[in-house]
Structure 1
Amino acid sequence: MTTMETTPQGSASGSSFYAAMRILPQEQRDAMFLIYSFCRQVDDIADSDGPRPERLAAIDEWRRDIDALYAGTPPARVASYVPFVKRFDLRRDDFIAIIDGMAMDIPADIRAPDAKTLDLYCDRVASAVGRLSVRVFGLGEEDGLLLAHHLGRALQLTNILRDIDEDAGLGRLYLPRESLNAAGITSSDPATVVSDPRLPQVCDDILKQAISHFVTSDKIMARNSRRIVRAPKIMSKYYHAILNKLVERGFALPRHPVKLSKAAKIFILIRYAFI
């Protein structure tokens, strides 16, 4: 994973998220940048190199602030959330889930979690963001929750595959214990695992899960108004393109970093922004 004093738009301007959200009407765009800013601020606490007790205290302060927001007494840093919470019926539980997800890396770095824990992590740090987002986009309740579930997991699993080496450098390993065991890898040391020649077998298992979630999320978006799902579709296409590039590169050593070119991002944006 990854405090902002700049505007949400400014801090997001270099990201795929920014391009996808810029196509939204003003009120929706402002709500999405607020959600992005919240996630970044909490994520920055989890990813900082400060003492773990201090990071836990900072995370707990965010929980208290969100509770106060929903109790009607918002502290200054979440006062601007009030109109968006009311306008889009944003749920407290989803904000808290994001905080809880970021906090999972603080007591100790995540290393080879079991599959259930990994799924919980994906739900908190990705699908909970989706649950807030689909309310802003205007999806119906049932399909909104389904899209948040599947697209959130697709994006997060793609992140995990893309960032294997970067995460290992931070002492983290998000690959599930069951997949490692199935490949015959018994170590949970990140540096050891990422240099193991059996790693591609582990990644193939995660790859199949990500593809399945992308397929399901595409089906959900296909049955909804194209204008309502433009932003999540652009995000889906960005990340699916990254996943395809990972497949082309493979997961055996040496692994060069994978990212989309500016031209590829523009092509996706033009193709899906104006439908």
Structure 2
Amino acid sequence: MPLDPSPNPAPVPPKPAAPLPVTHYENFPVASWLCPPALRAPIAAIYAFARTADDIADEGDAAPSQRLEDLDGFETELRAVASGVAPGARWPEVFAPLAATIKSHALPLPLLTDLLSAFRQDVERTQSAEPYADRAELLDYCRRSANPVGRLLLHLYGVNDPQALAQSDAICTALQLINFWQDLSVDLPRQRWYVPQTDATALGLRAEDLLAQPRTPASDRLVAELAGWARRCMDEGAPLVHRLPGRAGWELRLVVQGGLRVLDKIDALHGACLSQRPRIRAWDAPLLLVRAMAM
């Protein structure tokens, strides 16, 4: 006769939630097959954290006060799982994988909270339509909105020397700037003003001039100067591709070349990106690969 099962069987631990898939359009590869296999899940967990927080700040029709409240809750959840508390019920698909990655790779918490600081700033500036006064102010935003991602990846790769960190910051800042100039036709109508006032004023342009989206020699020159700034940042950081081993280095080569290709498309439009958005297309892939191999 078979034995009766135990009246109090040991609970089966729940299966950890898988990181969110990459569902947004991205210019650059995210946790692709080029990444070291052991790091794909941690990279996907970091991406899911950043992508979800960015969506809270930017997507849908929530009021600014609700967005800020949700970002506060998101940070509370981050600090809780970083201290060992189990993920809550609201964002388990984000914080279960992230908690595992924080524990297994000792992710620096300030880099994650810097991202949330930048997303809050996006909400507040969009609400007030407040422009960035100059390039220094915009670079401070990039320091928190973009550079932490590169530093988190270098942390996973075990690379932490000052030169590598500086080069990573330059690449990430360049990618953020490229995204700004790529998205002018989308951001300007939404009162998201990333063009530094000093750059616009130097060419006799005002916010309302660009909102009207007429192409003029001055606006063409403005876009060209901003794209040139982003290209110089990317060139400054590009030598980092030779510091990362194996697949990680090839992944970064494609990231750099993807950014430069978007800049090529911005340059080709001669300022028309005030009304249309250049994108990386499937047919750009062979060129990106050739350029990556030539680095």
Q: If the length of structure 1 is used for normalisation, what is the TM-score? A: 0.86
Matched, 1:152 2:172: yes
Partner of 1:92: 109
Q: Provide the alpha-carbon RMSD of the alignment.
A: 2.7
Correspondence 1:71 to 2:90: no
Shift of 1:252: 4.5
Distance in structure 2 (CA, Å) of the matches to 1:269 and 1:130: 21
1:83 and 1:6 map into 2 onto residues whose CA distance is 11
Compute the displacement of 1:86 (Å).
Answer: 3.2
Query: Which ranges in structure 1 are unaligned for 5 or more consecutive residues?
Result: none
Q: 2:221, 2:81 → 1: CA distance? A: 46
> For 1:9, which of 18, 21, 27 is the aligned residue?
21
Question: How many Å apart are 1:271 and its aligned residue?
Answer: 6.8
Equivalent position of 1:25 in the other structure: 36
Distance 1:46 1:152 in 2: 20
Q: Which moved more, 1:144-153 or 1:68-77?
A: 68-77
Give the letter aligned to residue 141 of structure 2.
Y
Mapped partners of 1:230, 1:112: distance in 2: 37
Aligned counterpart, 1:195: 214
Q: C-alpha separation between the residues in 2 aligned to 1:23 and 1:63?
A: 31
Show the 5 A alignment for 1:80-119.
Answer: 80-109=97-126, 110-114=129-133, 115-119=135-139
Q: Is the 8 A contact 2:43 2:153 kept in 1?
A: yes
Contact 1:139 1:228 in 2 (8 A): no
Give the residue type in structure 2 aligned to 1:244: D
Q: C-alpha separation between the residues in 2 aligned to 1:35 and 1:188?
A: 37
Which string of whole-angstrom CA distances, capped at 9 and with x for unpartnered residues, describes residues 215-246 of structure 1?
Answer: 11112323443544222221111111110111
Q: Structure 1 residues 270, 208: closer, same or farther in 2, change over 3 A?
A: closer
Considering only CA atoms, is the larger Rg found in Structure 1 or Structure 2?
2
| Whole-angstrom distance in 2 between the partners of 1:82 and 1:129 | 17
CA distance in 2, matches of 1:25, 1:242: 26
SS in 1 for 2:21: helix
Q: Deviations over 1:62-110 (max 9, x none)?
A: 1111211222224233232233223333111111011111111212415
Out of 246, 253, 267, the residue aligned to residue 247 of structure 1 is 267
Indicate the percent of aligned positions where both proteins have the same amino acid.
Answer: 21
Structure 1 position 182, deviation (Å): 0.8
Q: Which segment is superposed worse, 111-120 or 206-215?
A: 111-120
- Does the 8 Å CA contact 2:147/2:172 hold for their aligned counterparts? yes
- Aligned partner of 1:171 in structure 2 is 191
Shift of 1:7: 5.0
Closer, same or farther in 2 for the Cα pair 1:39/1:270, shift >3 Å?
farther
Q: Could you say which residue in structure 1 is the equivalent of 2:56? A: 45
What is the 5 A alignment of 1:127-138? 127-138=147-158
TM-score in terms of structure 2 length:
0.80
Q: Aligned partners of 2:125 and 2:81: how far apart in 1?
A: 29
The runs of at least 4 aligned residues of structure 1 exceeding 6 Å deviation read none
Q: 1:270 to 1:139 in 2, by over 3 A?
A: farther
CA contact (8 A) 2:171 2:237 kept: yes
1:175-186 equivalences in 2 (<5 Å): 175-186=195-206
Q: What does residue 237 of structure 2 align with?
A: 217
Structure 2 unmatched runs, 5+: 1-16
